[in-house]
Amino acid sequence: MKPLLAVILAVALLSGCGGESSEAATSGAVTVFAAASLTEAFTEIATAFEAAHPGAKVTFNFGPSSGLAEQIVQGAPADVFAAANTSTMDKVVAAGLSDGAAEVFVRNYLEIAVPAGNLAGISGLADFAKPDLKLALCAEQVPCGAAAKKAFAAAGVRPQPDTLEQDVKAVLSKVSLGEVDAGIVYHTDVQAAGGRVAGIEFPEAEQAVNDYPMVVLKTAPNAAIARAFVAYVRGAEGARVLTEAGFARP
């Protein structure tokens, strides 16, 4: 429901200020489709951006990158797209919708998430092969799932998940509710969850890093403000917020 609602909101906003040519390049509305793992970081960056550029309004559509890419290809009105891996971005680029090259702006490492207390005594990827544990993974059609698959292959482990969630936030919520003993999420998600979830790093994560590219889309009606947002994210303030959230520098 959330993506749809955001799309409707975006359309409403755009139609509301359509036809106006903005005098200042840094005012107006910009719609950003971003991977679910960027939720907390981007929201914080947007607040700072709006404070620095009065008249600017950022609207988000957070979700699994693959689904967002699909929506963009089908014609959803987005100005900026930030994906959780390069293959989902490739879809948008291949459709000829990107304005310029997509540049990687952060990397995100996978991490094992366990409920606070780690009652099941999880220590590493090998635990994911145990059938008596309740385990959650992302579906491999989404970037987090694709990366986890690579990591398991590198570790030589055959995971026995009990559920394949449609985005990384869903995995995180199952872990924080204590419904599963462990799940694979991003390092940023573990940090965002605070005390409810504990993280366990694993060496194979190095081999399954997700590079996050970002691009302004050709269909952006207000390209100037879109570019300004992208520049802000890459700038000092944006980098600070992203690093604090747990993202790694590219």
- Is 188 buried (19+), middle (13-18) or exposed (0-12) by CB count in 10 A? buried
How far is residue 182 from each of residues 46, 47, 197, 233, measured CA to CA in Å?
32, 33, 10, 32
C-beta closer to another protein: residue 69 or 112: 69
Please state the closest distance from residue 66 (CB atom) to another protein, in A.
4
Binding to another protein, residues 164-223 (CB under 8 A): 164-166, 170, 174, 177-180
237 binds another protein (CB under 8 A): no
Q: How many contiguous H segments (helices) and E segments (strands) does the chain have? A: 9, 10
Q: Which of 53, 134, 169, 187 binds another protein (CB under 8 A)?
A: 134
Q: Spell out, one character per residue from 138 to 157, where the chain touches another protein: x when CB under 8 A holds, - when not.
A: -x-xx---------------
Q: Give dist(CA 215, CA 81) in Å, integer.
A: 6
- Phi and psi, residue 201, nearest 5°: -80, 155
C-beta closer to another protein: residue 2 or 240: 2
Binding to another protein, residues 51-110 (CB under 8 A): 64, 66-67, 70
Q: Residue type for 163, please?
A: T
Interface contacts to another protein, rule CB under 8 A: 1, 64, 66-67, 70, 134, 136, 139, 141-142, 161-166, 170, 174, 177-180
